[in-house]
Structure 1
Amino acid sequence: MKFDIMRDRLLNGLNDVMKAVSSKTTIPILTGIKIDVTEEGLFLTGSDADITIQTFIPVEEDGDQLINITETGSIVLQARMFNEIVRKLPTNDVEIEVVNGLQTHIRSGKSEFHLIGSDASEYPLLPEVSADGSFSLPADLLKSIIRETVFAVAASESRPVLTGVNWQIQDDELVCVATDSHRLARRKTKLEQVPTDVNSVVIPGKSLNELNKVLEDSTNPVQIVITSQQVLFKTENVLFFSRLLEGNYPDTTRLIPAEFKTNVTINGKSLLQAIDRASLLAREDRNNVVRFETFEGNIVEISSNSPEIGKVEEQIQVEALDGENLKISFSAKYMMEALKAIDGQDVIIQFTGAMRPFILRSVIDDAILQLILPVRTY
């Protein structure tokens, strides 16, 4: 195997596949990156057995020659070391050559590295995924869906299925739900193509966070293929596979209240900033709790106190307030994350009482719904 490649293009590809490589893997070959050189170009693959990312660099793009291939072939190189070497090479021209089976030479300018690779035939094959029943979403929309739900997955592994986001196909909608049993985030999206052979899967939150990074600069549509054990996200030059979580995701629809006693319409940004200020004094041992109280004249008060430090009170004029007066306490962190997901728009907050879950929605549409359980302080 022998080829020349532009260093910056090689680094871009490595940046993507390195997101799947873990130093904690129990399978030694997965500490490496698989390099396949074919007549079409270069394939780089990284995996930790849960996530597998493959990126492709074509021989030429838009008339520019990116790779000169002298001889095709495959090798697995130690991921961290190879990535560091490429990052620190002195020029943008890189030559990689494999001789005597596994001896790998990396040359750039007057610098030359010699690495011992591993046999590429020992590297696991990509998961089998047939493209039946696939659908696609614009990259920007997919990134929004992830950002608006994934923060609410459970951090603890005590109920593994809650560490993922439940994706359900209902009629012509994709409904994505995350909950850690103290709060819930739901995002609905209309689909143009509806897959018929899948209706509910749970995608690990960790996988979605890594996918979000891979899609950072992407604006093209992402093709999504879901099977019983894997999901594949496919962009122009990247394949992102993730295993799915096993187990039944709880039915969350019954958690969402249908009737409300107090409705508050408020500017999301000003509420977020007020809670941020109040949380400065919120007692750490109380899980950062702030209080929310309604008053006559469309006023709500955000407050928090800490006997050792002091207290803070701030009143906000709201756009609309109807129903019963209310005093409620909640986690500042949960409320701020919910408001960030709705992204600074005007929000309507609907309460069913001081100790019942309450929901937040955008005034504009109900594609995003956030639910939070209050904290008992009164």
Structure 2
Amino acid sequence: MKFEVMRDSLLEGLNDVMKAVSSKTTIPILTGLKLEVSKSGLYITGSDSDITIQTYIPTERNGEQIIKVTEVGSIVLQARVFNEIVRKLPTNEVEIEVTNQFQTHIRSGKSEFSLIGLDASEYPLLPQIEEDRQFFIASDLLKSIIKETVFAVSTSESRPVLTGVNWQVKEGELHCVATDSHRLAKRKTALKDLPEEEYSVVIPGKSLNELNKILEETSSEVAIVMTQQQILFKTGDVLFYSRLLEGNYPDTSRLIPNEYKTTILVNGKSLLQAIDRASLLAREERNNVVRFSTIGQGFVEVSSNSPEIGNVEEQIQAESIDGEDLKLSFSAKYMMDALKAIDGQDVKIMFSGAMRPFVLKSVHDDSILQLILPVRTY
């Protein structure tokens, strides 16, 4: 195998695939990257067996030659080392040549590295995915959906299925739900050309976070293909595969109250800032708990108290308060995460009692719902 490639294009590809490589893998060859060069271009693959990312660099892009192929072939190289070498090469022209026994020479300017490669045929194959259940979503919309849900996944492995986000296709809509059993984030989106049949998958939160990093650099549409065990996201020249979590996701619709005793309309940004300030004095061992109460004349009070440090109280003018007076406590972090997902818009908060879950929605947009379980302090 022998080819020349432009370093900046190679680095761009490495930036994406390195997101899938983990030093903790139990399969030694997965600490490496697979490079496969053909007459049409270079495929680079990285995987930790949960996530697999493949990127493609064509020989030509916009009339400019990026890769010059002398001899086709494939090799697996130590990912971290290869990535660092390419970063520090002196010129933009890089030549990679594999000689006997997988010996790999990387030349650039007056610099030459020799790496011991591994046999590419030992590297796991990409998952086989039938593409008959494919639909498309704008990358900005997909980024929003991930941002508005993934923070609420569980970090505890005691119920593995809750460490993922449940994606359901039903009635022409994509419903995305995450919960750690103390809070819930839900986003529904109407999409064209969704598959007819209904199905439900659970995507690991970690996979969605890594996908979001790749989407930062793209504005093209994303094709999504779901199967029983895998989901594939295709954007530009990048393929992003993730395994799915096994197990039945709980029916979360029963958690959302049907009737409310108190409804408060308030500016999301000013509430977020007040809770942020109150959380400065919230005691760490109490899980950062902040108190929230209605105090008449259209005001709500946010407060926290720490015997060793002091206390803070702040009043916020609500746009409207309907229903019973209210006093409850909640995790400042959970509330701030929920308000950030709704993103500074005017927020409608609906309460059905001091120890019942309460719901946050944007006044202007019904597609996002956040639910939080209060904390018992009163």
Instruction: Please name the residue that 1:276 is paired with.
Output: 276
Q: Cα deviation per residue 1:328-349 (whole Å; 9 max; x = unaligned)? A: 1000000000000001111100
Query: What amino acid maps onto 2:211 in structure 1?
Result: L
Corresponding position: 1:288 with 2:288? yes
Cross-structure match for 1:40: 40
> 2:374 corresponds to which residue?
374
TM alignment of 1:294-305, pairs within 5 A? 294-305=294-305
2:6 equivalent in structure 1? 6
Q: Deviations over 1:9-52 (max 9, x none)?
A: 10110111011111111111111000000111000000011100
Deviation at 1:196, TM superposition (A): 3.0
Q: What's the counterpart of residue 165 of structure 1? A: 165
* 8 Å Cα contact 1:360/1:371 also seen in 2: yes
Residue of structure 1 equivalent to 2:81: 81
TM-score by length of 2: 0.99
What is the CA-CA distance between 1:6 and the residue it aligns to? 1.0
Structure 1: gaps of 5 or more residues: none
Residue type at the aligned position of 1:98 = V
Cα deviation for residue 68 of structure 1 reads: 1.0
Please list, as runs of the form range in 1=range in 2, the aligned pairs for 1:122-161 lying within 5 A after superposition.
Answer: 122-161=122-161
Counterpart of 1:277 in structure 2: which amino acid?
R
CA distance in 1, matches of 2:29, 2:275: 48
**For 1:197 and 1:123, how far apart are their aligned partners in 2?**
35
RMSD of equivalent CA atoms: 0.7
Percent identical: 74
Partner-residue secondary structure (3-state), 1:18: helix
CA distance in 1: counterparts of 2:232 and 2:131, whole angstroms: 9
Amino acid at match of 1:258: N
Distance 2:308 2:368 in 1: 38
Alignment partners' CA distance in 2, 1:153 and 1:252: 13
Kindly tell me: are residues 198 and 42 of structure 1, through their superposed partners in 2, closer, same or farther at Cα, counting changes over 3 Å? farther
2:179 paired with 1:179? yes
Bigger drift between 171-180 and 293-302 goes to: 293-302
Ranges of 4+ aligned residues in structure 1 off by more than 2 Å: none
- Paired residue for 1:96? 96
SS at match of 1:194: coil
Contact 2:133 2:195 in 1 (8 A): yes
1:110 aligned residue: 110
Which amino acid is the alignment partner of residue 218 of structure 1? Answer: T
Give the aligned partner of residue 195 of structure 2: 195
SS at match of 1:68: strand
The structural deviation recorded for 1:198 is 4.9
The residue identity in structure 2 corresponding to 1:249 is Y
Give the number of equivalent residue pairs: 378
> Conserved in 1, the CA contact under 8 Å of 2:177 and 2:187?
yes
CA distance in 2: counterparts of 1:92 and 1:289, whole angstroms: 54
- Partners of 2:153 and 2:178 within 8 A in 1: yes
Which residue type is aligned with residue 158 of structure 1? S
Tell me, yes or no, if the aligned pair for 1:133 and 1:197 is still in contact at 8 Å.
no
Question: How far has the Cα of 1:370 moved from its partner?
Answer: 0.2
Identify the residue that residue 206 of structure 2 maps to in structure 1.
206
Letter in 1 for 2:249: Y
> What is the Cα deviation at residue 191 of structure 1?
1.2
SS in 2 for 1:213: helix
Q: TM-score, normalised by structure 1?
A: 0.99
2:259 partner amino acid? E
8 Å CA contact retained: 1:138, 1:220: yes
Structure 2 unaligned blocks of 5 or more: none
